[in-house]
Structure 1
Amino acid sequence: MKNEKVLLIEDSAFTRRLLRGMLKDLGFQAVTEASDGLEAEKLLKLHRFDAMLIDWRMPRQDGAEFLARLRAHDNPVTAATPAIIISAHVDLALLQKAATLGAQSVVVKPFSLQVLKSHIDAALARPIDRAVPDARSGARPAAQPEPVAVPEPGPAPEDDAYEVVFL
Structure 2
Amino acid sequence: MKNEKVLLIEDSAFTRRLLRGMLKDLGFQAVTEASDGLEAEKLLKLHRFDAMLIDWRMPRQDGAEFLARLRAHDNPVTAATPAIIISAHVDLALLQKAATLGAQSVVVKPFSLQVLKSHIDAALARPIDHAAPDARVDMRPFAQPEPVAGPEPKPAPENGAYEVVYL
- In structure 2, what is the Cα distance between the partners aligned to 1:159 and 1:86? 20
RMSD: 11.3
TM-score by length of 2: 0.76
The residue aligned with 2:5 is: 5
> CA contact under 8 A between 2:134 and 2:166: conserved in structure 1?
no
CA 1:139–1:85 in structure 2 vs 1: closer, same or farther (change >3 Å)? Answer: closer
CA 1:140–1:24 in structure 2 vs 1: closer, same or farther (change >3 Å)? Answer: closer
> For residues 46-79 of structure 1, what are the alpha-carbon distances to aligned partners after superposition, in whole Å with 9 as ceiling and x for unaligned?
0000000000000000000000011011210110
> CA contact under 8 A between 1:148 and 1:166: conserved in structure 2?
no
Q: Secondary structure at the match of 1:8?
A: strand
What is the percent sequence identity of the aligned residues? 93
> CA contact under 8 A between 1:133 and 1:139: conserved in structure 2?
no
> CA contact under 8 A between 1:80 and 1:129: conserved in structure 2?
no
> CA contact under 8 A between 2:37 and 2:60: conserved in structure 1?
yes
> CA contact under 8 A between 2:118 and 2:136: conserved in structure 1?
no
CA 1:125–1:96 in structure 2 vs 1: closer, same or farther (change >3 Å)? Answer: same
Q: Secondary structure at the match of 2:138?
A: coil
- In structure 2, what is the Cα distance between the partners aligned to 1:4 and 1:93? 31
Structure 1 gap segments, 5+ residues each: none
Q: Secondary structure at the match of 1:138?
A: strand
Q: Secondary structure at the match of 1:48?
A: coil
Aligned length in residues: 167
Flag as ranges the 4+ runs of structure 1 deviating above 4 A: 126-167
> CA contact under 8 A between 1:134 and 1:141: conserved in structure 2?
no
Q: Secondary structure at the match of 2:139?
A: coil
> CA contact under 8 A between 1:88 and 1:108: conserved in structure 2?
yes
> CA contact under 8 A between 1:89 and 1:108: conserved in structure 2?
yes
CA 1:81–1:128 in structure 2 vs 1: closer, same or farther (change >3 Å)? Answer: farther
Structure with max Cα Rg: 2
Shift of 1:29: 0.3
Structure 2 gap segments, 5+ residues each: none
Shift of 1:134: 37
> CA contact under 8 A between 2:139 and 2:163: conserved in structure 1?
no
> For residues 85-129 of structure 1, what are the alpha-carbon distances to aligned partners after superposition, in whole Å with 9 as ceiling and x for unaligned?
000000000000000000000000000000000000000018999
CA 1:68–1:25 in structure 2 vs 1: closer, same or farther (change >3 Å)? Answer: same
> CA contact under 8 A between 2:141 and 2:163: conserved in structure 1?
no
- In structure 1, what is the Cα distance between the partners aligned to 2:149 and 2:37? 27
The residue aligned with 2:129 is: 129
> CA contact under 8 A between 1:52 and 1:84: conserved in structure 2?
yes
